[in-house]
Structure 1
Amino acid sequence: MNSKMFHLLMDQCENIAVRDVYISAPKDSPNTDGIHIGNSNKVKISNCYIATGDDCISMGAGTTNINISSILCGPGHGISIGSLGKYKGEKDVRGISVRNCTFTNTTNGLRIKTWARLSVPTTVSNVTFADVRVNNVKNPIIIDQFYCPHSLCSHQGESAVQIKGVKFIDIKGSSSSQVGVDVQCSKSKPCQNIQFSGLDLTLAGTTQPAAASCSNANNKFLGINQVPSLPAS
């Protein structure tokens, strides 16, 4: 409870299991990630309740073969991969599975974020987000390759992080903003093979469909009766 920064931090770890953990911090507390994983392999996180002022779970560079399931998140900034591409020597991120999670009143739901200016080349691949419920979430699905959280950084430039092979399956619920699917990728390294299926995202408090906005991305909206079904032209 109320950690000054990360509540749980795993770095250079392997074969770790975290389950049945309760984490709590005020919603306006900065940098209070619930669980952060970096440079680690084979980590399982399940059946946790996380309410913080930052990411419920964040995954940094060198994170591989991560299985996250049955997480209740909110308030907070959701479950994030990144931010990536800021430091030299960053290793790739791959083999991430996030399933059966619920986000309530969070800033983000499912997020991948990379720095743009002076970004270091790495790769994010083989990522699956599935069976997720969002309740009044500002950004249910977001890929942001122009991440810039403070005035000292810059949105200018292009990210050198390659994002590919990401699936969003059965993401359902309500968005507190018009755009429920926001995919903004790098011109120099466009996102590849981004797939959406079984989406059902409406504006909070209404039956109006949420919109999708995609840029510099090879994306596919698979199947019929999805909401949104296609990105805005």
Structure 2
Amino acid sequence: MYGKYLFMLCLWPFIAEAHIKLFNVAEYGAITDGKEDNSVSDACNWNGSATVLIPEGTYMLKSVIFKGPCNGSVTFQIKGTLDGQGSATRQKCKNNANCEILFTTMDFDFITNGHVQNLHSIDSKGGHFIVFGCENMTFTDLTLKSPENNHNTDGIKISQTNGINITGVKIGTGDDCVAMISGTKNVRISNVVCGPGHGISVGSLGKNDGETDVEDIVVKNCTFVGTSNGLRIKTWAAPLKKNLKASKFVYEDIVMNNVQNPVVIDQQYCPLHQCDLKVCASSYNVACRNIRGSSKSDIAVIFNCSKDKPCQNITMDNINLWGYSDNGKGRLLLRNYCFEVNGASYGKQSPPSCTPHRATPLSA
């Protein structure tokens, strides 16, 4: 962790009336020689509001756990950038199959009313942030960067969480910019720039027993640059929970810039080709509005659904996607692919929609 940026993480278990006390890690023996591990927990035990300050310097950390419940609200101020040094670790592990490198930079577990802002996280070993079992968290004004060839470096990965707001974030990784898996509900994502990476994804869902639905997701005013996917919902062809579903999605005002697969719903995800394609998780109530930009492949929209559980109520409203070419031969001619999709399309449809076209859109 180094540099001059200021990161603030605010955790609010409840509103405390006592005065704010500052806890400076330098006063607890934390040193900036780049060799010592440092932690502090007194702030959590303070009977009131507390601020934990990590001043400028270089601190080499192993796993540091800040564990609650706390007696009052806690704010972390980190005057620096989080550097996971993932590239160096991967190079050391290059010829060692047993080398563990997939450490997450920060985990947020069972936090209520949290606010994370003004943070730079670079070169993570595994994912940058994992959010699990949380309620009402906001992530804003962040920059999360990992090299494109460093796999499994998700930007923000969310599960079993209700109420997430992600806004004003720049993410470039070797995996999903934002991944929403089992039990993710009530998410609002806006003003995010994603690239490189695998896009903003739901799933995969259905691989493990006990997974729960993903629903009520809104993605607005986002831009994808050179990603392998843009907007993606991915469910296994043979989920262990047979009635698992992904539902109530709105994708609106989205820009694609040289994206391999701009819009994807894949209910038949089965990389080993050993699945029963008649047993799928379901996808329904998905609205795509005002999506424009360029596709690197010749397929703009992929709806690969199931005969057993077709995609239901999929609406496409004002879609304008064109082929991207970097070989001087002009734009590629695009097409859409639909299999077992029930829905409708409205307004401009380029390329032509493979769902029925109607004159006027549904009300929002």
TM bin (shorter chain): over 0.9
Per-residue deviation, residues 160-204 of structure 1 (Å, max 9, x unmatched): 311110001011000011110010012211110000011000000
Equivalent residue for 1:221? 345
- Distance (whole Å) between structure 1 residues aligned to residue 162 and residue 175 of structure 2: 23
Equivalent residue for 2:139? 18
Equivalent residue for 2:263? 141
1:210 maps onto 2:334 in alignment: yes
1:131 maps onto 2:253 in alignment: yes
Q: Which one has more relative contact order, counting CA pairs under 8 Å at least 6 apart?
A: 1
1:110 maps onto 2:234 in alignment: no
Structure (1 or 2) with the greater helix fraction: 2
Per-residue deviation, residues 131-184 of structure 1 (Å, max 9, x unmatched): 0000000000011112234x5x63653343111100010110000111100100
1:200 maps onto 2:320 in alignment: yes
- 1:210: how far off? 2.2
Partner of residue 202 from structure 2, selected from 73, 81, 89: 81
Letter of the aligned partner of 2:225 in structure 1? T
SS of match in other structure, 2:227: coil
Equivalent residue for 1:189? 309
- Distance (whole Å) between structure 2 residues aligned to residue 195 and residue 174 of structure 1: 20
- Distance (whole Å) between structure 2 residues aligned to residue 154 and residue 67 of structure 1: 35
1:98 maps onto 2:222 in alignment: no
In structure 1, the gaps of 5 or more residues are none
RMSD: 1.7
- 1:4: how far off? 2.1
- 1:222: how far off? 1.4
Moved over 3 A (4+): 153-156, 205-209
**How many pairs does the alignment contain?**
230
Per-residue deviation, residues 191-220 of structure 1 (Å, max 9, x unmatched): 100000110000003445521110011021
- Distance (whole Å) between structure 2 residues aligned to residue 51 and residue 199 of structure 1: 25
- Distance (whole Å) between structure 1 residues aligned to residue 232 and residue 336 of structure 2: 15
* Change beyond 3 A, Cα 1:40–1:158: same
Indicate if the aligned counterparts of 1:132 and 1:170 stay in contact, CA closer than 8 A: yes
- Distance (whole Å) between structure 1 residues aligned to residue 260 and residue 240 of structure 2: 26
- 1:28: how far off? 1.1
In structure 2, the gaps of 5 or more residues are 1-121, 356-364
Letter of the aligned partner of 2:283 in structure 1? I
Q: TM-score, normalised by structure 1?
A: 0.93
Structure (1 or 2) with the greater strand fraction: 1
- 1:85: how far off? 0.9
- Distance (whole Å) between structure 2 residues aligned to residue 119 and residue 71 of structure 1: 33
Indicate if the aligned counterparts of 1:66 and 1:97 stay in contact, CA closer than 8 A: yes
- Distance (whole Å) between structure 1 residues aligned to residue 335 and residue 275 of structure 2: 23
Indicate if the aligned counterparts of 2:298 and 2:332 stay in contact, CA closer than 8 A: no
- Distance (whole Å) between structure 2 residues aligned to residue 187 and residue 57 of structure 1: 29
- Distance (whole Å) between structure 1 residues aligned to residue 306 and residue 160 of structure 2: 24
Equivalent residue for 2:123? 2
Letter of the aligned partner of 1:61 in structure 2? S
- Distance (whole Å) between structure 2 residues aligned to residue 198 and residue 65 of structure 1: 25
Indicate if the aligned counterparts of 2:268 and 2:280 stay in contact, CA closer than 8 A: no
Greater C-alpha radius of gyration: 2
Letter of the aligned partner of 2:259 in structure 1? V
1:43 maps onto 2:164 in alignment: yes
Q: TM-score, normalised by structure 2?
A: 0.61
